[in-house]
């Protein structure tokens, strides 16, 4: 019996079925690819996290010796009275100074310099020349009274120890004398451009292609793979594939990249990053709960909730009211008090980055013992704005959307998000009411230190770290935007992605 052919309707049905099956197959294939990418990125971050943990543990067991400059910053100056010394606080400051030199997390191209083309987020002190940037802190001012000439070369310059900066210099093409940690030409400067045998034109021809978003990944690579000195390197170049290490901006510096080809982000003290490990800056959900409960928004939910402690300052010497506040410690010679904060506390934040203030408290006209770190109930002293942070280093991938949830300098966040509404505490805001403060923030040492706090927060802040959270234009919706970007982030503090924790 002769079989009849398919009718047009039957053919259409078959084609629809085939199309549905193909959709399922493609979706499953894409899901498999996505999960493989996530797993590859998780594996890379886990590998780097373990190496950095080992290094950090070794570094924190070393006790740095305070210098006269550390003692000077740690002391209390009350008018014409003799200064009150604090050996314990000087030790804490010396430890911060040492750790920031051994684990710089970012850098800035020092355009135009003929000595040091890279600044590792180091702020100058005491002198405007390179000598004022030598480490440890205040090295240029530590010359004995009546002395002449330049101070000793110290242990590092522009925010990094010489042996750590060597990991960058080698990749730029410096010769061995440019990264050996010695003052070969006896001019008081160690490993400057001239000792490396390179001209400014040669160095800046490479660095002219540098993109800021790669700096943190390049710094992490320089520390763990190219590191010199007593701690050396944790890995060999051959320990990574060409998909894990690339030079995406063509500046001659290699960086760790995720499975989507984007550089990882590395933060040494991400005090404002919020995760299961640290309070950081409260997210939309926490702020919404606070508003619903008629609480002043902040990182805590009650006066009885355990407050974080800074592991580098367990006795809270940096928050002692007599030193932290500008009322009693009113005569620190290097900087005047401002906003209720002593000049010494301001200097500490300008030099090392970690904030001694709670941005939520700064935006509040009243103290709140339920939601602020400080349990004060009065505004007369201003101490309620102080805060200690627990933080752990952070290695982060922006995930499949390629947008990290942590704020980056130079990015105009309002310009890359045109959603009609955006979540804010207690509701949503229309695009027409966007506050407009998400514009790109320029590169500078002060701004790098803000960026290094690793928060889902807008970098448009004043000098004391105050955030625009509420006001005439509503809450700063750039914060909400960054939270959305962070939903698919893969980080060393959770090692998970859109598919959930890796089982």
What percent of the chain clears pLDDT 90, i.e. is strictly above it?
61
What pLDDT was estimated at residue 503? 33
User: What is the C-alpha separation between 115 and 109, in angstroms, rounded?
Assistant: 12
> For position 418, what pLDDT does the model report?
75
DSSP codes joined into one string, 64-90: PPPPHHHHHHHSB--TTSPPBP-HHHH
As a whole number, mean pLDDT of residues 131-136 equals 92
Is pLDDT at 105 greater than 70 in this prediction? yes
Is there a contact between 234 and 201 (Cβ–Cβ < 8 Å)?
A: no
Burial of 471 (0-12, 13-18, 19+ CB in 10 A): exposed
Average pLDDT over residues 187-197: 92
Look up residue 178 and give its DSSP letter.
G
Question: Residue range 374-381: average pLDDT?
Answer: 87
User: By 3-state DSSP, what share of the chain in percent is helix, strand and coil, each rounded to 5?
Assistant: 35, 10, 55
pLDDT confidence of residue 472 = 34
pTM of the model: 0.89
Question: Which range, of 24-28, 68-72, 126-130, 134-138, averages the lowest pLDDT?
Answer: 24-28
Using CA of residue 231, residue 237, residue 243, residue 247, what is the dihedral sign? positive
Question: Which of the pair, 303 or 462, is modelled with greater confidence?
Answer: 303
Window from 174-178, 230-234, 423-427, 461-465 with minimum mean pLDDT:
461-465
pLDDT band at 434 (very low <50, low <70, confident <90, very high): low
Confidence category of residue 145, pLDDT binned at 50, 70, 90: very low
Query: What are the Cα distances from residue 229, in Å, to 63, 102, 119, 226, 237?
Result: 17, 10, 19, 10, 18
Burial class (CB in 10 A: 0-12, 13-18, 19+), 299: buried
- The rounded distance, in Å, linking the Cα atoms of 104 and 168 is 11
Other Cβ atoms closer than 10 A to 114 = 12
- pLDDT tens sequence across 224-248: 999 877 777 889 999 999 999 999 9
- Bin 154: left if φ > 0, else alpha if -120 < ψ < 50, else beta: left
pLDDT band at residue 490, thresholds of 50, 70 and 90? very high
The pLDDT of residue 229 is 75
At 6, the pLDDT band (50, 70, 90 cuts) reads low
Task: Report the candidate in 391, 356, 357 with the shortest Cα–Cα distance to residue 270.
Answer: 391
Average pLDDT over residues 15-44: 78
- The string of pLDDT tens digits covering residues 340-374 is 899 999 999 999 988 899 988 888 888 999 999 99
Q: What is the mean pLDDT of residues 302-318?
A: 96
Q: Which residue has the higher pLDDT, 223 or 16?
A: 223
The confidence score (pLDDT) of residue 501 equals 40
pLDDT of res. 2: 55
Contact by Cβ (8 Å): 442, 410: yes
Q: Is the pLDDT of residue 147 over 50?
A: no
Q: What is the pLDDT of residue 420?
A: 79
pLDDT of 414 above 90: no
pLDDT at 480 over 70: yes
Instruction: Find the length of the chain.
Output: 503
What band does 28 get if pLDDT is binned at 50, 70 and 90?
Answer: low
pLDDT band at 479 (very low <50, low <70, confident <90, very high): confident
**Section 69-75 average pLDDT:** 95
pLDDT value for 496: 56
pLDDT in tens, 380-397: 888 999 999 999 999 999
């Amino acid at each position: 019996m002769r079989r009849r052919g398919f009718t047009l309707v039957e053919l259409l049905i078959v084609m629809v079925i085939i199309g549905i099956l193909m959709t399922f197959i493609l979706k499953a294939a894409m899901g498999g690819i996505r999960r493989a990418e996530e797993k590859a990125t998780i594996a890379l971050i886990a590998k780097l996290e373990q190496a950095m943990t080992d290094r950090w543990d070794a570094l924190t067991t070393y006790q740095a010796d305070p210098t006269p400059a550390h003692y000077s910053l740690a002391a209390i100056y009350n008018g014409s009275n003799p200064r009150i010394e604090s050996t314990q606080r000087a030790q804490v400051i010396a430890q911060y100074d040492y750790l920031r030199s051994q684990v710089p997390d970012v850098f800035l191209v020092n355009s135009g310099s003929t000595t040091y083309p890279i600044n590792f987020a180091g702020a100058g002190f005491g002198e405007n020349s390179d000598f004022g940037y030598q480490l440890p802190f205040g090295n240029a001012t530590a010359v004995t009274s009546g002395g002449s000439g330049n101070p000793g070369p110290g242990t590092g310059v522009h925010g990094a120890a010489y042996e750590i900066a060597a990991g960058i210099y080698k990749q730029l093409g410096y010769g061995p004398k440019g990264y050996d940690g010695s003052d070969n030409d006896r001019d008081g400067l160690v490993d400057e451009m001239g000792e490396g045998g390179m001209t400014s034109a040669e160095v800046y021809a490479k660095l002219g292609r540098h993109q800021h978003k790669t700096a943190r990944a390049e710094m992490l690579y320089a520390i763990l793979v190219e590191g010199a000195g007593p701690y050396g390197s944790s890995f060999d170049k051959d320990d990574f594939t060409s998909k894990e290490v690339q030079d995406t901006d063509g500046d001659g510096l290699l960086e760790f990249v995720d499975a989507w080809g984007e550089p990882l982000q590395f933060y040494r003290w991400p005090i404002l990053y919020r995760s299961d490990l640290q309070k950081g800056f409260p997210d939309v959900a926490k702020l919404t709960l606070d508003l619903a409960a008629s609480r002043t928004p902040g990182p805590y939910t009650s006066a009885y909730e355990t407050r974080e402690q800074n592991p580098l300052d367990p006795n809270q010497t940096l928050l002692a009211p007599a030193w932290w506040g500008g009322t009693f410690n009113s005569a620190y010679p290097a900087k005047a008090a401002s906003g209720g904060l002593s000049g010494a506390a301001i200097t500490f934040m300008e030099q090392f980055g970690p904030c001694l203030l709670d941005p939520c408290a700064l935006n509040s006209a009243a103290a709140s013992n339920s939601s602020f770190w400080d349990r004060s109930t009065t505004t007369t002293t201003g101490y309620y704005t102080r805060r200690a942070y627990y933080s752990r280093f952070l290695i982060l991938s922006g995930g499949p959307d390629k947008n990290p949830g942590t704020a980056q300098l130079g990015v105009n966040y309002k310009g890359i998000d045109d959603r009609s509404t955006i979540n804010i505490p207690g509701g949503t805001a229309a695009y027409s009411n966007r506050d407009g403060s998400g514009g790109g923030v320029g590169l500078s040492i002060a701004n790098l230190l803000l960026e290094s706090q690793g928060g889902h927060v807008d970098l448009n802040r004043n000098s004391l770290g105050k955030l625009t959270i509420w006001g005439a234009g509503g809450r700063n919706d750039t914060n909400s935007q960054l939270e959305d970007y962070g939903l698919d982030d893969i980080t060393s503090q959770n090692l998970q992605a859109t598919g959930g924790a890796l089982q």
